[in-house]
Amino acid sequence: MSILNLFKIAYKALLRNKTRAFLTMLGIIIGISSVIAMVSLGQSSSKSINNQISSMGTNLIMVMRTSQRQGGVNIGSANVQTLTDKDVEAIRAKAQYVSSISPLVNASGQLVSGSNNWPGSMQGGNSELISIRKYEIASGISFTEQDVRNSAKVCMVGKTVVDNLFPNGENPLGQTIRFSKIPLKIIGVLASKGQNQMGQDMDDVVIAPYTTVQKRILAITYIHMIMASASSEETATLATQEIETILHNTHRLKPGQANDFDVRTQKEMLDMMNSVSGFLTVLLSAIASISLLVGGIGIMNIMYVTVTERTKEIGLRMSIGAKNKDILLQFLCESIILSLIGGIIGILLGLLLSYGASAGLKWPFIVSVPAVGVSFLVCAATGIFFGWYPAKKAASLDPINALRYE
Amino acid sequence: MNDIIKIEQLRRIFQVGSEEVHALKGISFTISSGEFVSIMGASGSGKSTLLNIMGCLDRPSSGEYFIDGISVSQRSKDELSTLRNRKIGFVFQSYNLLPRTSALENVELPLLYNNTVSTKERRERSIRALEQVGLHDRMMHLPNQLSGGQQQRVAIARALVNDPVILLADEATGNLDTRTSYEIMNLFQQLNSEGKTIAFVTHEPDIAVFTNRTIQLRDGHIVKDAPVQTQSAKASLDVLPVNDDY
């Protein structure tokens, strides 16, 4: 019998029982769509993490303070005061793979402008901080080295701060706001960057010279952090090593003594986040594929019932000339058609689901071509694997008995 | 006249547990082209076994069976399937139409298993077969929209569509009332007069009178093989009292 006739026969047989065919497909539809949705969302989430980390600069290097043991006392990292702007100058002078570097001093406090106020967090840096953090200035100007030397009372603000302090749309440039009672003049507004991978609002920020934050707000001499850019993504690791060596010397640590600082790159963060999201994707896909297995067993179950129910039809087909092979292929075809149509619907539904979810979560929508391809193959395999045994049973029926079956 | 069916010393032995059951105990007969033979016998006489063998659904334990000059005894299962597809038309007691499938598609079915027939030819031949049984106006009807007699006509059309050398009818009127039975027998007589060879298994003597020859089986032996004083089904139909309760 020709393949075309075979498919025609199987297709007509399925059409005779549309509801059942659909219900059988449902298992496959749910299984495939959840696998597709999970894989696709997993990739979307890691893509989104990648995008955001890259937007912060993959060559970003952060030097943080770590807890330290001093004379038998463990000092928490927040109380370590050994990181200073002298370290910054040392790195700037000696490191060859570091292209720009800035100290970072954080402060939080209430921002006030007229009758409006907003809980703000302030980041103090030098004039290079803007480029290291990959901020852009939407309007106005950045502060200069001169401002840093003078501890000038100037700042740049993010969009969220502008929206909350100037809700009526006034031009914030040139306005004076107060941060913890210190008046600061807004000289620049930062372009919006949205949220970072932690869900933090990157626009809820005030950037000022670090000297201003150090002296006028916090009254400290140390810095909280150093932010630097490696000359390129490839040299990030080299730059990290350089910084470690330089700081080891400037902090006068003995060889083998634990560092009182920690140098991290964005790439490490990226790898960590990726491994977490990769693990979750695998886990969720594994769970989803269980539903695919259940769907396959559903097909087998229905095909078994079908074979028993259609014993007489099988007998008739044999009596009018169907060979055992024809019967086998017919039932196999039916299960393959069921699983393939179910699979196609499932793929479309899965893509729709992941499109909806990634649109809702503002993640990039990714169609995982391998996942779609593999799902399709899995569908066909499911049809053949779970359809084989019932089809075999149908083909092995004795036509005489099958014709008399009631 | 050439022999459509030639059976020589046919035996069929079934193994039931440790016991051997001899369903057919060495029977011989021939059916020539254009004959209309009824095969009669009580249940257990072996007529179903004989029909299964004649229909190439079963193979004899010993003896020879030729259909249209082809020896059947040593054929493989697939070869038997092909023989059934090309040489034989079955008509069953319970019609055995596919449910939710139009009359036309039911009739097309045997040709689907024949690769040498194109889609167009299949459609044409099916329409012709339905016209032959007088159902040209009900081709798209589903079985449940047809009466018993009409369903049996569809089944006959399905048996005719592959242009078989013999029609094998197994109690084809068993599920029908007298009037419809006579109508079906009239159709068979008509087909016979057009040259179709027919073997009709029945246990009703008043149906057998419409055939040309009766082979009577009892306990696996042929006890009678004689021509029949054929009655016209059409004439019988005319004298039947007219019922208006249907």
Nearest to A260 by CA among A73, A80, A61, A71: A80
- In the sheet with B62-67, reading across from the earlier edge strand, the strands are B19-32, B3-16, B62-67, B70-71
Residue A288 scores a pLDDT above 90: no
Alpha-carbon distance of B84 to B78, in angstroms, equals: 10
What Cα–Cα distance (Å) separates residue A49 from each residue in A36, A42, A236, A274?
20, 11, 19, 8
Number of residues in chain A: 406
| pLDDT at site A257 | 77
Handedness of CA B198, B200, B204, B205 (dihedral sign): positive
Mean pLDDT of chain A: 86
**Are B229 and B208 within 8 A, CB to CB?**
no
Q: Using pLDDT thresholds of 50, 70 and 90, give the confidence band for residue A28.
A: confident
**Are B12 and B58 within 8 A, CB to CB?**
yes
Q: Do B90 and A318 touch (CB under 8 A)?
A: no
Mean pLDDT of chain B: 91
Tokens of A20: 């059942």
Alpha-carbon distance of B72 to B80, in angstroms, equals: 8
Q: Do B82 and A321 touch (CB under 8 A)?
A: yes
A5 touches chain B (CB under 8 A): yes
Pick from A16, A319, A333, A403 the residue to mutate for testing the B interface (most B CBs within 10 Å): A319
Pick from B49, B56, B113 the residue to mutate for testing the A interface (most A CBs within 10 Å): B113
**Are A313 and A338 within 8 A, CB to CB?**
no
Please state the rounded mean pLDDT for residues B33-59.
92
Alpha-carbon distance of A360 to B111, in angstroms, equals: 55
A323-336, pLDDT tens digit by residue?
999 999 999 999 88
What Cα–Cα distance (Å) separates residue A44 from each residue in A360, A365, B244?
12, 6, 75
**Are B182 and B237 within 8 A, CB to CB?**
yes
> Nearest residue of A to residue B83 by CA position?
A321
One-letter amino acid of A118: W
Instruction: Compare A382 and B88 and report the one with higher pLDDT.
Output: B88
Q: Using pLDDT thresholds of 50, 70 and 90, give the confidence band for residue B127.
A: very high
A312 touches chain B (CB under 8 A): yes
Looking up tokens 């075809």 gives A333
Tokens of A103: 């100290």
For strands A154-157 and A137-140, give the pairing.
unpaired
Chain B CB contacts of A324 below 8 Å? 77-78, 81
Return the minimum-mean-pLDDT range out of A226-235, B7-16, B212-221.
Answer: A226-235
Q: Using pLDDT thresholds of 50, 70 and 90, give the confidence band for residue A56.
A: low
Return the minimum-mean-pLDDT range out of A76-80, B63-67, B230-234.
Answer: A76-80
What Cα–Cα distance (Å) separates residue A280 from each residue in A335, B1, B200?
32, 81, 71
B244 min Cα distance to partner chain A (Å): 33
DSSP state of A253: P
Give residues with Cβ within 8 angstroms of B218, minimum separation 6. B41, B42, B45
Buried b (16+ CB within 10 A) or exposed e, A212-224: bbbebbbeeebbb
Burial of A153 (0-12, 13-18, 19+ CB in 10 A): middle
> Nearest residue of A to residue B53 by CA position?
A400
Q: Which helix (H) or strand (E) holds A328?
A: helix A324-360
- How many contacts, defined by CB atoms under 8 Å, are there between A and B? 69
| pLDDT at site A315 | 93
Chain B CB contacts of A317 below 8 Å? 109, 113
One-letter amino acid of B59: R
Alpha-carbon distance of B206 to B200, in angstroms, equals: 13
Q: Which helix (H) or strand (E) holds A303?
A: helix A266-309
Pick from B43, B98, B102 the residue to mutate for testing the A interface (most A CBs within 10 Å): B98
**Are B38 and B215 within 8 A, CB to CB?**
yes
Nearest to B90 among A8, A9, A320 (CB): A320
Give residues with Cβ within 8 angstroms of A136, minimum separation 6. A130, A190, A191
Give counts: helices (H), strands (E), chain A: 13, 12
Tokens of B63: 């003896």
A293-328, pLDDT tens digit by residue?
888 888 888 888 889 988 999 999 999 999 999 999
Q: Do A323 and B52 touch (CB under 8 A)?
A: no
| pLDDT at site B104 | 94
10 Å Cβ neighbour count for A109?
Answer: 17
A16 touches chain B (CB under 8 A): yes
Q: Using pLDDT thresholds of 50, 70 and 90, give the confidence band for residue B68.
A: very high
Buried b (16+ CB within 10 A) or exposed e, B90-124: bbbbbbbbbeebbbbbbbbbbbbbbeebeeeebbe
Q: Which helix (H) or strand (E) holds B24?
A: strand B19-32
A272 min Cα distance to partner chain B (Å): 60
Residue A64 scores a pLDDT above 90: no
Alpha-carbon distance of B155 to B107, in angstroms, equals: 7
A19 min Cα distance to partner chain B (Å): 14
Residue A55 scores a pLDDT above 80: no
Strand intervals (E) in A236-326: 261-265
Q: Do A313 and B84 touch (CB under 8 A)?
A: no
Give residues with Cβ within 8 angstroms of A285, minimum separation 6. A35, A38, A39, A42
> Nearest residue of A to residue B59 by CA position?
A400
Alpha-carbon distance of B71 to B45, in angstroms, equals: 25
Residue A398 scores a pLDDT above 70: yes
Nearest to A324 among B52, B55, B77 (CB): B77
Nearest to B57 among A2, A8, A399 (CB): A399
Question: Bridge partners of A229?
Answer: A60, A100
| pTM (predicted TM-score) | 0.73
Return the minimum-mean-pLDDT range out of A87-101, A192-206, B217-231.
Answer: A192-206
What Cα–Cα distance (Å) separates residue A295 from each residue in A14, A26, A31, A33, A107?
17, 7, 6, 12, 56
Nearest to A319 among B90, B105, B112 (CB): B90
Strand intervals (E) in A296-369: none
One-letter amino acid of B95: Y
| pLDDT at site A258 | 78
Q: Do B113 and A1 touch (CB under 8 A)?
A: yes
User: What are the backbone angles phi and psi of residue A143, rounded to the nearest 5°?
Assistant: -75, 160
| pLDDT at site B244 | 57
Q: Do A324 and B78 touch (CB under 8 A)?
A: yes
| pLDDT at site B199 | 95
Scanning B39-78 for CB atoms below 8 A from A yields 52, 55, 57-58, 77-78
Please state the rounded mean pLDDT for residues B119-145.
93
Please state the rounded mean pLDDT for residues A10-23.
87
Residue A272 scores a pLDDT above 70: yes
Residue A77 scores a pLDDT above 80: no
Q: Do A323 and B110 touch (CB under 8 A)?
A: no
> Nearest residue of A to residue B98 by CA position?
A313
Query: For the packed helices B103-112 and B119-132, what is the interaxial angle rounded to 10 degrees?
Result: 130
